[in-house]
């Protein structure tokens, strides 16, 4: 797949981008994203959780102080580690770190692991992008759909840095809408392309495992495996399975508009 950027998409118009994640500021995925955005000539500020916060969802911290610490990233530049959740770090980044500065875009990721289908409801990565949208900034969430120890970050990183980020800023996004990107864990030249996709349906089986502690009391371990079934055409799950990057527009209006008419027929309005 070619994600070569044109001169106009980056060198002539560097973007001001805040990046965050839910895997923590030391995670390799956020650094790969930063490097790709740097290479494309954008101005990047990193503000991310000071420790892994995967599956934090859209939690925010209301009842204790939030701390913000300047830290050296592995390329020697400075980033900001926040003591809160991914959503907190977006607020800290936009309002505390970049106070009074223009921000063109917020990117959350690159997450180590898929955010496909209903995963987005648990995802700290996607929730951070949602928080950016709520505050009023365009946002992209990006993940590599694999839990392997060694991940191929380049395909996702270069697509976002060279293609998607400039397009989002140029075209804008509708109100309350963000883009959720998943990439297969493949070397960049083996990624087949990019597909627009709907949110798929991914069910887990054996969700709860019952075990016993050394004194015989039961405890439970939450996890489970993905139910192995054919993914529906046009979905993010299908695109990833076929070796494509998926791009899914997601909006924060969770109203089931299609059901509204039937529900009205119940006659519960009075």
DSSP state of 186: S
Identify residues 24-53 at the interface with Mn ion (CB under 5 A).
none
Closest CA to 248 of 201, 195, 203, 202: 195
- For position 23 contacting Mn ion by CB under 5 A, the verdict is yes
State which residue, 10 or 111, has the beta carbon closest to Mn ion. 111
Continuous H helices in the chain: 28-39, 86-91, 124-135, 154-158, 165-171, 236-241, 257-264
**Strand stretches in the chain, DSSP E:** 16-20, 43-49, 68-72, 78-82, 105-112, 139-144, 177-183, 193-196, 204-205, 208-212, 218-222, 225-226, 244-251
Q: Which residue is nearest to Mn ion (CB)?
A: 54
State which residue, 31 or 169, has the beta carbon closest to Mn ion. 31
State which residue, 132 or 163, has the beta carbon closest to Mn ion. 132
**Number of Cα atoms under 13 Å in the Cβ half of residue 177:** 9
Q: Which stretch binds Mn ion (CB under 5 A): 22-30, 190-198, 210-218, 261-269?
A: 22-30
What number of chain residues touch Mn ion (CB under 5 A)?
Answer: 4
What CA–CA distance (Å, rounded) separates 143 from 212? Answer: 35
Using CB under 5 A, which of 3, 9, 10, 54 touches Mn ion? 54
- For position 22 contacting Mn ion by CB under 5 A, the verdict is yes
Core vs surface per residue 105-124: b (16+ CB within 10 A) or e? bbbbbbbbbbbbbebbeebb
Provide, rounded to whole angstroms, the least separation between the CB of residue 55 and Mn ion: 7
State which residue, 84 or 166, has the beta carbon closest to Mn ion. 84
Provide, rounded to whole angstroms, the least separation between the CB of residue 119 and Mn ion: 10
Q: What is the DSSP string of 10-27?
A: TTTS--EEEEE-SS-TT-
Q: Which stretch binds Mn ion (CB under 5 A): 21-29, 76-84, 214-222, 226-234?
A: 21-29
Provide, rounded to whole angstroms, the least separation between the CB of residue 135 and Mn ion: 21
Provide, rounded to whole angstroms, the least separation between the CB of residue 86 and Mn ion: 9
- For position 182 contacting Mn ion by CB under 5 A, the verdict is no
State which residue, 23 or 154, has the beta carbon closest to Mn ion. 23
Provide, rounded to whole angstroms, the least separation between the CB of residue 13 and Mn ion: 31
Using CB under 5 A, which of 20, 85, 108, 111 touches Mn ion? 111
Closest CA to 200 of 118, 112, 111, 257: 118
Where does this chain bind Mn ion (CB under 5 A)?
22-23, 54, 111
């Amino acid at each position: 797949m070619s994600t070569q950027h044109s001169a106009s998409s980056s060198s002539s118009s560097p973007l001001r981008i805040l990046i965050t994640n839910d895997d923590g500021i030391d995670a390799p995925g956020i650094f790969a994203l930063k490097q790709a955005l740097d290479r494309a000539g954008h101005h990047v500020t990193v503000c991310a959780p000071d420790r892994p916060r995967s599956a934090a969802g859209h939690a925010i911290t209301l009842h204790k102080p939030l701390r913000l610490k300047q830290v050296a990233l592995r390329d020697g530049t400075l980033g900001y580690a926040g003591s809160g959740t991914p959503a907190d770090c977006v607020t800290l980044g936009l309002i505390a770190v970049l106070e009074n500065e223009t921000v063109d875009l917020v990117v959350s990721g690159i997450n180590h692991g898929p955010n496909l289908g209903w995963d987005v409801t648990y995802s700290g990565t996607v929730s951070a992008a949602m928080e950016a949208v709520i505050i009023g900034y365009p946002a992209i969430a990006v993940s590599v759909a694999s839990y392997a120890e060694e991940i191929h970050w380049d395909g996702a990183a270069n697509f976002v840095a060279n293609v998607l980020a400039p397009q989002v800023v140029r075209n804008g996004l509708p109100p309350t809408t963000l883009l959720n990107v998943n990439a297969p864990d493949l070397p960049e030249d083996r990624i087949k392309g990019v597909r627009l996709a709907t949110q798929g349906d991914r069910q887990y089986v054996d969700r709860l495992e019952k075990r016993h502690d050394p004194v015989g009391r039961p405890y439970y371990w939450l996890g489970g495996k993905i139910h192995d079934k054919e993914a529906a055409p046009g979905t993010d799950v299908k695109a990833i399975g076929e070796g494509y990057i998926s791009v899914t527009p997601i909006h924060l209006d969770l109203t089931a508009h299609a059901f509204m008419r039937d529900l009205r027929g119940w006659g519960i309005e009075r």
